[in-house]
Amino acid sequence: MLFKPSQLAIATHCALFLLVLPVTHANAESSTQATENQTSMERMIITGSRSAERIEEVPSSVTLIEQQTLAQDMLMTSQLQNLLAFRVPGLAPSTGTSSNSGQNLRGRAALVMIDGVPQSTPLRNGKLGISSIDAGVIERIEVIKGATSIYGNGASGGIINYITKRASEDKARVKVGASSKFSAVKLQDSAGYRVDTSIDGTVDNFSYVFSAITEKTGVERDSEGDAIGLVYGLSETKSNNYFTKLGYQLDDDKSIQLTYNYYEAQQESDYIDVVGNANTGEKTYSIDNTTGIVKLGVPQGPRGNHNLMLKYVDQDIFTNTQLTVDGYLQKIENMFFFSTALANLSEGYEGGQSFIKSEKKGLRVNFATQVDWDNVESTFIYGIDALQDISSQPLEDGRIWVPEMDMRNLAVYLQTKFVIADDWVIKAGIRQDSVDLTVDDYQTLKLCRTPSTCSVPFDVTGGELTYNSTTYNIGLRYNMNEFFNPFMSFSQGADISDIGRLLRTATVDDIALIRTESSIVDNYEIGFSGQLGDLNYEIAAYRSKSELGTSNSFDATTGIYLPVRAPQKIWGYEAQVDYRVLDNLNTGLSYSWVEGKDTETDTYIDGGTISPPKLTAYISWQPVEEASIGINYMYVGDRDRFEPVDGAYIGSQGPIENYNVVNLTSSYQLNNWQLSLGVENLLNEDYFSARSQASTNASYYTQALGTTINVGIKASF
C-alpha cells in the first residue's frame, strides 16, 4: 500500500491552500491600464501546466471561454453542455440533456474540474461531470485538448477546467438577477425562473465571494410543442448552487484561500414518457400523468455534490520558486432515471434506479522554479499528487450494481519549459503514477429483461489491482512572427477504463481474470496560429491511438454495453477564425471533424464516441454603448458509417442527419440595470440531437428543444 487512507485524510485536513495565481496584480492607475491588465489576464492559463503561462507559450490547442463571452451566452441558457458545445472546437454537440454521454473531446473522455479538482468519476464514468456546477459562479473556462497526464486518470481526451469567480479588489460589489425561460411554441407549463445573487469584495487583506443561485425549469418543449422525454431530461428540474470563497493575504508572498461549492439539480416531474422507436422514427415524448398511478422512483440528477478546497501559496518559498499546496474533499451522488432494465420480478423489483456515489480526498504539493540565463527563460514545475477515490454504483432499493472501489493513487511529476530568444518554446514532462485499487468480494446483479430471461449472477472474488504507468509529453512552438506560429506536440495519458462497468458485467469468478488493464493514449498534434491585423486564427490536426480501447460496444444478445478492449485510433482536425470587423462588431467561425476506428477489426467506432462534423459561427454587435446583440449558429453534419442488422440499427450505430441551430442574445444597460432577451433555436428547427440519432435506445430518441425565450433583469451595486 502506497499510503493509508487515514494518513491521506489527516494530510488533507491539515493542508493549507491558496488560489492566488503566480501573476502580479497591480492596481490600475487608469481605465486604460485596467483594460490592459484584464487583457493580459485573459491570455493566461493555469490548467496546462499548473502554473500561469501565456497562451503563446503553449505548443498545443487551447480554448478559453472568457467572462464576457460566458456572460453573454448565459443570457440565452445556463446549461454548460450547450455553452461548451458551441464555444469549443473538437467538443461533440450537446445532447440537450443533463448527460454528457457522447459529448466527447476529440473522440475521447474529458476530465471535468472545478479549480483543478476533478468532478468526473472515471472509476464509474456516468458521464454527468459537465453539469457539476452552475455557470453563474464561473469566471472563465479553460479547455486543454489531447491526452494529458498533468492531472492523472480520466483525461484521455483533455481537460475542461471551470475557474470560479474572484473577489473584486474594491469595496463590496452586489449583484442580483432574475429571469424566466419559457417555450415560444407552446407556453403551457413551460415557464420557469432563475434567481442569482452574489456579493464580493476585499477589505484590507481579506477577500470574499458569496453566491446563491436557484433555478427551476418548466416543461421543456420541442419544435412541435410536445414535452421532451424525461430520461436525463431538464424539464421541471430545480437546481441550487451555493458558493463561498474566502481569501487572506498573509504577507506580500503568502496567501490562503478556502472555497466551498454545493450543487444539486433534481427533476421532479408529474409527466410520464410515451416511448417511441428510433428505428421507425417515432419520437419519445412525455405527457401529463393523468393515470392516477404513482410514478416509480425518486427524482433524478445530482442530489448534493459537495466540493471543499483549501489552497496555500508562497510566491517565494526559496529563490525563484513558488510553492502551492492544495487539498480537497469531495462527495458526489448522481442519481440516474428509473429503469425497468433493472427489474427482477421474482425478488419483487419492477425496475431500479442506480446512482453513482463517489468520495475523493486529495493532496497536491507543487513547486514552480524559474531559472534564466543568457537568452533562455526556463521553468521547472514538479511535485506530488496523492488521491483517494472511493466510488460505487448502488441502487436506491439497496441492491449493489457496482461494488465499492477504493483507489489510492500516488504520483510524482516534472514539467519543464524553455523559452529561447523569446521565439522558441520547448516543453517536456514526465509523470509516474502508482495506483492500488481494492475491491471486496461481490456478486454481480441478477437482472431480468423478461420474467423468464435473466442474467446469471456471478460470485466474484475481489482483491487488489496494481497499476504503474509512466507517461511523457514533449512540445515545440515557434513564435516566428505575429502572422505565423507553428507548433507540434506529443503527449500521453494513462486511463483506467470504466472499471465499474467492467465489474458489473463480469462473467468470471475472480477479479484478476477481468481485463482491467489501464490504457495508455498517445496523442500527436500539429498546428499553427497567428494574427493578420484584426483577424486571429488557429488550425490543428491530431491523431491519438491506444492499445486498449476507451469506448463501449453494444451486445445485441444481452442488450447491454460492454467496454471495448481492442486497439483504437482516432484522428481529426480543427480550424478557428475570429475577426474584428469594427470596434463594435466581431465575428468568427470554427470547424471540427473527427473519425475513429477499432484497428483490430478495421471497423468504425460508433456514434457514442465519435461525433459528426461541426461548424459554428457568431456575430457580436454593440450598436450603441448601452446595447449588445449576438447571434450564434451551429451546423452539425452527417455521419453514416453502419449498416442495419436484421433490418434495424443497433447500439449507437444509427445514421446522423445534419441540422442547423440559430440562437440569439441581446441586452440593454441602463445605469446599474441590465435588461436581456435570449432565444434558443430562434428558427424553431425540427431536429434530433446527434446523440439521439446515433443511439437506438428509445428513451434517448427525443426531439431537441424548440424555440425558447429567456427574459431577464440584473442589477449591480
* Cβ-proximal residues to 673 (8 Å cutoff; 6+ apart), any chain: 713, 714, 715
SS3 state of residue 63: strand
Q: What are phi and psi of 628, to 5 degrees?
A: -145, 145
Identify the pLDDT of residue 12: 33
What's the rounded Cα separation, in Å, for the pair 537 and 535?
Answer: 7
What's the rounded Cα separation, in Å, for the pair 133 and 136?
Answer: 8
What's the rounded Cα separation, in Å, for the pair 517 and 494?
Answer: 10
Identify the pLDDT of residue 551: 58
CA–chain centroid gap for 319, Å, is 37
Identify the pLDDT of residue 5: 39
Rg (CA), the chain: 25
Identify the pLDDT of residue 9: 38
HSE-up of 238 (CA within 13 Å, CB side)? 3
> In the numeric block, which cell numbers belong to residue 388?
483517494
Q: Which CATH number fits the domain 5-716, given the four candidates 2.40.170.20, 3.40.50.970, 3.30.479.30, 2.70.98.50?
A: 2.40.170.20
Q: Domain limits of the chain?
A: 5-716
8 Å CB contact between 364 and 381: no
> Cα angle vertex 116, ends 105, 68, to 5°?
75
Cell 428509445 appears where?
698
Identify the CA nearest to 234 among candidates 254, 212, 255, 216.
216
Identify the pLDDT of residue 454: 87
What is the enclosing helix (H) or strand (E) of 86? helix 80-87
Residue ranges of the alpha helices (H) in 595-636?
none
Handedness of CA 83, 85, 91, 94 (dihedral sign): positive
* Integer angstrom CA distances of residue 48 from 154, 161, 342, 424, 713: 15, 10, 41, 18, 36
Q: For the chain, how many residues are written?
A: 717
If one counts every other C-beta atom within 10 angstroms of the C-beta of residue 441, the result is 12
> Assign residue 681 a region: left if phi > 0, alpha if psi is -120 to 50, beta otherwise?
left
Identify the pLDDT of residue 333: 94
Identify the pLDDT of residue 27: 35
> In the numeric block, which cell numbers belong to residue 699?
428513451
CA–chain centroid gap for 454, Å, is 36
Question: pTM to 2 decimals?
Answer: 0.90
The rounded average pLDDT for each run of 10 residues, N- to C-terminus, in the chain (717 residues) is 38 30 33 42 71 87 93 95 95 91 89 89 86 95 86 84 92 95 97 97 96 98 97 95 98 97 95 94 94 88 94 95 95 93 90 95 95 93 95 96 95 95 94 93 90 87 90 95 95 82 83 78 96 96 86 54 75 97 97 95 93 97 96 98 94 96 97 97 97 94 97 96
> Cα angle vertex 588, ends 585, 592, to 5°?
170
Identify the CA nearest to 49 among candidates 366, 486, 520.
366
Identity of residue 217: T
Identity of residue 44: M
8 Å CB contact between 241 and 136: yes
Identify the pLDDT of residue 50: 80
Identify the CA nearest to 223 among candidates 685, 678, 709.
685
Identify the CA nearest to 334 among candidates 306, 312, 311.
306
Identify the pLDDT of residue 175: 96
Identify the pLDDT of residue 6: 37
Q: Which residues of 149-177 are buried (b: 16+ CB within 10 A; e: fewer)?
A: bbbbbbbbbbbbbbbbbbbeeeeebebeb
DSSP states of 96-165: SSS--TT--BTTBPEEEEETTEE---GGG--S-TTSSS-GGGEEEEEEEES---TT-TT-SSEEEEEEEP
Identity of residue 295: K
